[in-house]
Chains A and B, each alone.
Chain A
């Protein structure tokens, strides 16, 4: 079974802090993704990576950065946390394929609150 592990289930941080969310997958997937999920808005793609040290912006990259130094690990960084970044953050991974046609496997999410 594919396992995508997110380092924290719940996290509380203060405005202006630098926040790191970590994600590890054990299936040797090339692609990794970060989404945020908000009521009524569904899943919105923040960033994704299709190879080590490679990244592409998603639909809502502002205020975020990412790092992928190893194939199995993908980090999301909130450079200076703000209250509008309070959300559920989901990491996913998939095999590479043409376009985005491979199914993605998700972690259980990190519920982040910015006070």
Chain B
């Protein structure tokens, strides 16, 4: 079983829809949670960075962490065709391994 699970999609939604992207994880030591967006033929770019449980909002994007359920979400409001990309979750613990553990990514298509 992978340490971080993410539905690969593709997820297809109409423009203006609210999108929910999710990851589950098994390592209870994870404290730092990130979401990256990756356009085709480009590297991942950091979207959201959160620590521990709770919500964080940035414009149309909201990141939510539920450590008790080992579940994180990224919500995109008023989705746009330019949001079409692959979304990767990533996480890490406070100690130990210095690198992030990534989900395999969910491909999102926003139809105009």
Residues of A within 8 A of B (CB): 4, 31, 33, 40-43, 45, 48, 50, 56, 58, 90, 92, 98-101, 103-109, 111
Contact = CB atoms under 8 A, between A and B. Distances in A.
Contacts, number: 66
A90 to B, nearest CB: 6
A100 B99 contact: yes
Contact of A99 (B98, B102, B104): B98
A106 B99 contact: no
B54 interface: no
Contact of B102 (A4, A43, A109): A43
Interface residues of B, number: 29
6 contacts: A42-B6, A90-B44, A98-B94, A99-B93, A104-B90, A106-B43
A101 B88 contact: no
Contacts of B102: 42-43
B19 to A, nearest CB: 20
A99 B34 contact: no
A90 B99 CA distance: 14
Contacts of B75: none
A58 B99 contact: yes
